[in-house]
A and B are shown apart, each in its own frame.
Chain A
Amino acid sequence: MNEDLILQHGLTLDEFKIIKNYLDRDLTMEELGIFSAMWNEHCCYKTSKKWLKKLPTKNEIVIQGPGENAGIIDIQDNDGIAFKIESHNHPSYIEPFNGSATGVGGILRDIFTMGARPIATLDSIRFGLIESEKTKYLLNGVVHGIGHYGNCIGIPNIGGECEFESTYGFNNLVNAMAVGHVQKDKIFYSKPKSIGGLIVYIGSKTGKDGIHGASMASDVFSEDDEDDKRPSVQVGDPFMEKLLMEGCLELMSLGLIESMQDMGAAGITSSSVEMASKGNVGVLINLDKVPLRQPLSAYEILLSESQERMLAVIDEKNNLKVKEILQKWQIDYEVIGEITNNKRVVFESNNKKVVDLPVDIIVDDAPEYDREFYMPRKRKGKDFDFSNIKLEEIINTLLSNLNYLHKSWVFNQYDSTVMGDTVKEPGQSSGIVKIHGTQKVIGATTDCNPLYIRINPYEGMKYTVAESYRNLIACNINPLAITNNLNFASPLDPNIMGELVLSIDGLKTAAERFNTPIVSGNVSLYNQTNEIPIKPTPVIGMVGSNQDLKKINSNKFCNIGNKILILGKQLEKNLSPYLLQDQNLASNINEYNDLVELDLDYEKKVADCVLKMSDLKYIMSCNDISRGGVFLSLLKMQYKDMGFKVNMPDPIDLFCEYSAGYVIEIMNEDLNNVSSFLSENGVGYLEIGEIIKENIEINSKKFDYFDIINNYHNNFEKIIN
């Protein structure tokens, strides 16, 4: 086989040699295609596997950890929660609408493949600077795509994040997360149960879209690639997915299916190989039976990433019944093969075996690399000059920076209330939905602090996990588990590889301390275009619960006259990276001081106090403190005609970042109780002011209330248009 062809398939010559030595014969084109799909970074985690293995993935509530379509945790009774986050970065840059829409479609399939009904989605999206017309185009397309797919299928979007930063200019990030509810005794796995089971194809017909999508997603981009790569972006049809979801959930509820696997990245190849590998069995599939949209070669069928397709195993006796139900939902259905006992993956076409490979070599012998990595350099301490920074200026800079502004322009394009169970809509500390027919609620949030992680990957990752944790705690949601989406530039650069290794280590440390295991995830590498690597962006999706809907905290002010308290430890001005960045004090990454070590024990202690005080009903409202400091936290809590009056020895401190930081609102009469409760628990607090009517006052200086509120709510739309 010629070398160019091998390289075009994303395999190295060394990798090809391993295959050839093992098989002791030449490969067919179809087989080369299979290795190209299965041995790329996206499918086999060849760079990250060594490090991912170190993550905590189990505890008493984990029902299913990484390795299945989604992770599942136990939330008592017969209720389980399935969730996962996944990236669709490259497709969303090439074709923002379809790229992001199919990202949502793919993650929803991961959820309902396991028998779970999706109950919420979240999204974490990052773009370059808005001054570029390209960014506006990408932002519009991505938000439209995410909205279109989720709105149409009817799953509420309950939160996420949207950040603008220069390194994402030619490599935007689109990470979509989905959460589903499953009855614990009705979970479906991808592992087939019996030899002789029928392999059935369910869903849309196969077309040419997305051929080699998975290997594209593992490539470094150059700018002029865009047009060439467009045909490998999948096109989604949320209507078909809605039918597929209802059809599959009906089949599962009737027990007509043995196992199921969605045809996502690398299509029928990856889904059938995974089935065989998990069940320790073989598969025999006749490609001539696959429903097609247009004439395709065997090679194309194997690698197509057409959307809205499922592969399932059923018992032959259920064949007619399955067919009948899927007919009602107008879904294509075909028996295309069977489960065999020879542990080989065999595909036939035109009465010829085009692929005949042992499962072992595809999966178990997939390469695993221990790539070289560098530790970050030590940072020298530096003092920044704040003497020229005026309070008014800081507020104005904040209110003209997209990263701080209210993002209703984004989430008003999403349906957040469909299904009728939404408790907290986007724009609050975390999104919350009720488990239908119960009083239980699930909270979810996504976060990442790329600047922190670039400064110090290990500590920065701890801060990222802690921020998600605080988002849930502020709502009185008990954090339970994590899904992660590790977005990095090229791991062939040892500096980038170092960020990957150390941030996974930070994730491990924080997840262990918080007892929030990692149950699912995704890795997206080579996020760089024209030699500009993105900032390290390992996004965390955290899920938690509360058994009683009535115990949830408000994130908005409740009453005029109530006291405002702060918990946590403030980072000094010189040590607050986002303050330094956003006030244009630090321009180069080398200028920042090192991050203050995050004390996870303290973080946990304060969080426990917030949960306890919420249950005791001391807390009237609560919000976490992150980028933008106490001031932005207060602005987010502003509601109706309420404003705030606060005092700080140095008002610039109101904009500093925190560890274990929360703003809480309490009633005057509870002040003594709260004070003694906190001192008993060894947690300090600062009483900084109170809620007042239609005013914002800092150290007795009055600001224009309506100006600030209106700018906060409306400037996002003004700036992007």
Chain B
Amino acid sequence: MSFKSAVITFPGSNCDRDALCYLQDLTKGVVYNIWHEEASLPKVDLVILPGGFSFGDYLRSGAMASKSKIINDVIKHANDDRYLLGICNGFQILTEIGLLEGALIQNKNLKFLGKNCFIKKKFKNNFNLSIKEDQVLQIPVAHNEGNFYCDNETLKSLKNNEQIAFEYCKGEFSNSEENINGSIEAIAGITNKKKNILGMMPHPERAYSDFHPSQDGKLIIESLIT
């Protein structure tokens, strides 16, 4: 059975091509590119909401995209227990839709942050099965609003339900901070309770080719396919 996937493009998405290449190269299956105004999604195993500045980040990052026409079908896709991955702006859109809890606020130093970061897995889910406990992944981040925030009650339930997928950590020989953007408990990515939806700030689609400084981003697709 070949793995089918789709990437949604909103006006202002700028990692849609990167996500398409990432899926094409790693899944070897059919990959659809869906324009936000289309009414329906083809039946696929995985949908990616890519990074970028959908609708120019006007109002709030992800807020306008969360009201796009295609979103109804994206919600249906997720309700069918199929995989949904939001990367960076895609993560912000998922929290705006309400498919994931919490919110992404401005980085603690109030500046855009574009650099390699280090993350490790916190709780096991289908997106990180191929990643070992305590394995440190090197993956780039590029965001202005990546500082994950939620209230104490939500945090407690995220932990109780093992919804924290990734947390920022320190890399070997790196003198950068452990928690790069000030996220609560250094959270870099969370899932929904059913764990078929993942939102993460780092960009795995920029860390998979031989010429990238790291190929750790492969592990997410590998986890889903095997």
Instruction: List A residues at the B interface (Cβ < 8 Å).
Output: 144, 147-148, 151-154, 237-240, 242-243, 328-330, 408, 411-420, 422-423, 434, 549, 639-641, 709-710, 713-714
A147-B112, A151-B112, A420-B205 known; A239 and B55 CB under 8 Å? yes
A640 to chain B, nearest CB (A): 4
Residues of chain A with a CB closer than 8 A to B212's CB: 420
Q: A151-B142, A549-B211 are in contact. Are A418 and B14 (CB under 8 A)?
A: yes
Chain A minimum-CB-distance residue to B140: A417
Q: Which of A144, A239, A412, A415 contacts B58 (CB 8 A)?
A: A239
Kindly supply a per-residue 1/0 record for chain B positions 109-123, scoring 1 wherever the CB is within 8 Å of any chain A CB and 0 otherwise: 001111100000000
Interface residues of B (CB under 8 A from A): 11-12, 14-15, 17-18, 21-22, 37, 51-53, 55-58, 111-115, 140, 142, 144, 172-173, 175, 203, 205-206, 209, 211-212
CB within 8 Å for A710 and B175 given contacts A239-B55, A413-B111, A419-B18 = yes
Residues of chain A lying within 8 A (CB to CB) of residue B114: 147, 151, 411-417
Q: Would you call A423 and B211 a contact (CB within 8 A)?
A: yes
In the complex, the chain A residue whose C-beta lies closest to that of B15 is A418
- Residue numbers in A under 8 Å from B21 (CB-CB): 420
Q: Are B11's CB and A329's CB within 8 A?
A: yes
**Are A434 and B211 closer than 8 Å at their CB atoms?**
yes
Question: Which 3 A-B pairs give the minimum distances between C-beta atoms?
Answer: A154-B14, A239-B56, A420-B18
Q: Which residues of B contact A710 (CB under 8 A)?
A: 175
Closest chain B CB from A170 CB (angstroms): 26
The residues of A that contact B56 with a CB separation of less than 8 Å are 152, 237-240, 242
Nearest chain B CB to A552 CB, angstrom units: 9
16 additional A-B pairs beyond A151-B142, A239-B57, A420-B18, beta carbons within 8 Å, are: A147-B114, A152-B12, A152-B14, A152-B53, A239-B12, A414-B112, A414-B114, A415-B112, A415-B114, A416-B114, A417-B203, A418-B14, A420-B17, A420-B21, A420-B209, A420-B212
| B residues less than 8 Å from A153 (CB atoms) | 14
- A454 CB to closest chain B CB, in angstroms? 34
* B211/A641 in contact, CB under 8 A: no
Q: Which residues of A contact B12 (CB under 8 A)?
A: 152, 239, 242-243
**Closest CB-CB distance, B59 to chain A, in whole Å?**
12
Q: In the complex, which residues of chain A have a beta carbon less than 8 angstroms from the beta carbon of B173?
A: 639-641
Closest-by-CB residue of B relative to A157 is: B114
Residues from chain B with a CB closer than 8 A to the CB of A328 are 37
Interchain CB contact (< 8 A) of A242 among B14, B58, B172, B211: B14
Whole-angstrom CA separation of A582 from B111 in the bound complex: 31
Q: Which of B15, B22, B172 contacts A154 (CB 8 A)?
A: B15
**B203 contacts across to A, CB distance below 8 A:** 417
Q: How far is the CB of A606 from chain B (nearest CB, A)?
A: 27
Please judge, given known A-B contacts A154-B14, A420-B205, A420-B209, whether A413 and B112 are in contact too, CB under 8 Å: yes
Instruction: Give the Cβ gap from B90 to chain A, nearest Cβ, in Å.
Output: 14
Instruction: Kindly provide the distance from the CB of A282 to the nearest chain B CB, expressed in whole angstroms.
Output: 37
CB neighbours of A411 from chain B (8 A) = 114
CA of A1 to CA of B62 in the docked complex: distance in angstroms? 55
- Taking a contact as CB atoms under 8 Å apart, the answer to whether A417 and B58 are in contact is no
Q: Are B14 and A420 in contact (CB under 8 A)?
A: no
Chain B residues, Cβ within 8 Å of A434? 211
CA distance A434 to B21 in the complex (A): 14
Chain B residues within 8 Å of A549, by CB? 211
Q: A420, B206: Cβ atoms under 8 Å? A: yes
Question: Contact at A419–B17, with CB atoms within 8 Å?
Answer: yes
CA A423 – CA B209 in complex, angstroms?
10
Name 16 A/B residue pairs within 8 A (Cβ), A-sorted: A144-B111, A152-B12, A152-B14, A154-B14, A154-B52, A154-B53, A239-B57, A242-B11, A412-B114, A413-B114, A415-B114, A418-B142, A419-B18, A420-B212, A640-B172, A710-B175
How many Å from the CB of A360 to the closest CB on chain B?
A: 43
A330-B14 contact given A151-B142, A408-B115, A417-B142, CB 8 Å threshold: no
- A646, chain B: closest CB distance, angstroms: 22
Task: Return A100 CB to nearest CB of chain B, in Å.
Answer: 14
- Closest Cβ–Cβ distance, residue A547 to chain B (whole Å): 14
Q: Which B residues are CB-close (under 8 A) to A144?
A: 111-112
The answer on a CB contact under 8 Å between B112 and A148 is: yes
Chain A residues with CB below 8 A from B206, complex form: 417-418, 420, 422
A417 to B139, CA, bound (A): 10
Closest residue of chain B to A143 (Cβ to Cβ) is B111
In the assembled complex, the CB of A426 is this many whole angstroms from the nearest CB of chain B, namely 10
Specify which chain A residues have a CB less than 8 angstroms from the CB of B142 in the assembled complex.
151, 415, 417-418
- Whole-angstrom distance between the Cβ of B9 and the nearest chain A Cβ: 9
Query: Cα distance A458–B144 when bound, in Å?
Result: 44
- Tell which of A152, A408, A423, A434 has the most Cβ of chain B within 10 Å: A152
CB neighbours (8 Å) of B17 from chain A are: 419-420
Minimum CB–CB distance from A240 to chain B (whole Å) comes to: 8
Who on chain A is nearest to B21 by CB?
A420
Within the complex, what minimum Cβ distance (angstroms) separates B141 from chain A? 9
Q: Which residues of B contact A242 (CB under 8 A)?
A: 11-12, 14, 53, 56
Interchain CA distance A151-B52 in the complex, whole Å: 8
Q: Which residue among B53, B58, B113, B114 has the maximum number of chain A CB atoms within 10 Å of its CB? A: B114
Kindly identify which residue among B14, B175, B209 contacts A713, using a CB–CB cutoff of 8 Å. Answer: B175
Residues of A within 8 A of B15 (CB): 154, 418, 420
Residue of chain A at shortest CB distance from B113: A412
Q: Which A residues are in CB contact (< 8 Å) with B112?
A: 144, 147-148, 151, 413-415
Which residue of chain A is the closest to B53 with respect to CB atoms? A152
